[in-house]
Amino acid sequence: MAGTSALIIGLLSLTLPSPYLVESPGPMFNTIGEIEDQAVISVSGEQTYPTEGSLNLTTVFVAGAPTSTVRVPEAVTGWFNSGTDIQPHELIYPSGTTAEQVQQQNTAAMTSSQDLAVAAALNELGIDYNQELSVVDFTAEAVQVGTDEQLQPGDQVTAAAGSSITGLEGLRDAVNTAAGQPVALTVLRDGEELDYEVPTYQEADGDYYVGIMLENEFDFPVDVDIELDGVGGPSAGLMFTLGLVDSMTEESMTGGENWAGTGTVDPDGTVGPIGGIAQKVVGARSQGIENFLVPTANCTELDGRVPDGLATYAVDDVSEGRAIVEAVRDSDQDFLAGLEPCGS
């Protein structure tokens, strides 16, 4: 009887949901190509040119609550798959997060990444645009030190530490330079310019923060339409940017080569880290890609996980990513030899 009970319990456990998320390689999308005869990127208001090759953004499938169910056998199998990572659910999604909230967050992040990509592409091409940085809300840390008693939602941040800023990168630099001391912020409120000394604090990552949630608002001289349904998150920024630059530049960036990559992007072109890098390189190589652009901050995650036949290049900003793609196009071995290795 005891043996039968143990067998039943064992069988039942195989049908139970696992408390893990399974990350595996997802599909690629060519930012300078078409999907069902519809261009992924369309630009009006500026001259565009034919492209060749591909500049693919990469994705990751994430299976598990709250969007789906991962059974115990699936989680166990994932542990032994070199192209799959297993993450405890609570490390990714706070308790109580719903599927609808995840979808909304991913959609908002994708929309934001598209705006940032347009800004970064115009910056790379030297085309002017207008940008405003507005206060939306405050973190608990900012409320604790009284920042919300100085600034208000809707305030437009125009200067930090006495220097004009138009994007998050300028504010970030000023806050880190303050290194825990209050930072001088100038805001525009109802047409009036106001100055405040705003407290800063240090987080576990070593950077300093003011705890202000901000929103970028752009006024571009071109209209850009990006058609890509069913893909969320901020990590497509770099490849959207390069796709836009290639489309708006007469000379082909790739020279017919097929590329893939990933990374967030700021208006000044700074490339930031993303999740799922190991899955993205595996997915790209499985589809024949030989060259991959990786945010520098993600390179250590690729130690021992770069598929054979895939060259990975560390990228700090859009200009560097563009230069690497063009160096491979031109077989510029001197330039490529000077690059730091990314993963192994």
Ordered by where they begin, the domains of the chain are 21-126+220-338 (3.30.230), 130-219 (2.30.42.10)
Cα radius of gyration (the chain) = 23
Q: What is the pLDDT of residue 340?
A: 84
Do the Cβ atoms of 237 and 263 come closer than 8 Å?
yes
Does residue 321 or residue 166 have the better pLDDT?
321
How confident is the prediction for the chain on average, in pLDDT? 84
Q: Give per-residue pLDDT as tens, 260-284.
A: 999 999 888 999 999 899 999 999 9
Range from 198-212, 282-296, 326-340 carrying the lowest mean pLDDT: 198-212
- Quick one: residue 123, left, alpha or beta (phi over 0 = left, psi -120 to 50 = alpha)? alpha
Distances in Å between the alpha carbon of 149 and those of 145, 157, 168, 189, 209? 9, 16, 22, 14, 17
Q: For residue 17, list its beta bridge partners.
A: 71
Range from 120-124, 144-148, 191-195, 245-249 carrying the lowest mean pLDDT: 144-148
Q: What is the pLDDT of residue 234?
A: 78
DSSP conformational letter for 308? T
Q: Give per-residue pLDDT as tens, 34-69.
A: 998 899 999 999 999 999 999 999 998 776 655 555
Residue 134 C-beta-side C-alpha neighbours within 13 Å: 12
At 75, the pLDDT band (50, 70, 90 cuts) reads very low
- Give residue 205's Cα distance to chain centre: 18
What is the rounded CA–CA span in Å between residue 22 and residue 72? Answer: 11
Rounded to the nearest 5 degrees, what angle is found at the Cα of 42, between the Cα atoms of 38 and 44? Answer: 140
What is the rounded CA–CA span in Å between residue 344 and residue 342? Answer: 7
Q: Give per-residue pLDDT as tens, 154-167.
A: 999 999 999 888 77
Do the Cβ atoms of 195 and 184 come closer than 8 Å?
yes
* DSSP three-state, residue 238: helix
Question: What is the DSSP track for 173-218?
Answer: HHHHHHTTS-EEEEEEETTEEEEEEE--EE-TTS-EE--EEEEEEE
Average pLDDT of span 186-206: 90
- Token pair belonging to 247: 């489309």
Residues in contact with 47: Cβ distance below 8 Å, sequence separation at least 6, in sequence order: 248
Range from 22-31, 150-159, 302-311 carrying the lowest mean pLDDT: 22-31
For tokens 């390189």, name the residue: 281
For tokens 């989680």, name the residue: 75
Does the N-terminal peptide bond of residue 66 adopt cis geometry, omega within 30 degrees of 0? yes
Q: In the structure, how many helices (H) and strands (E) does the chain have?
A: 10, 20
At 96, the pLDDT band (50, 70, 90 cuts) reads low
Q: What is the pLDDT of residue 126?
A: 95
For tokens 């220097």, name the residue: 163
Q: What is the pLDDT of residue 228?
A: 83
- Give residue 208's Cα distance to chain centre: 21
Average pLDDT of span 119-142: 92
What is the rounded CA–CA span in Å between residue 161 and residue 7? Answer: 68
Average pLDDT of span 270-299: 95
The Cβ of residue 206 has, within 10 Å, a number of other Cβ atoms equal to: 7
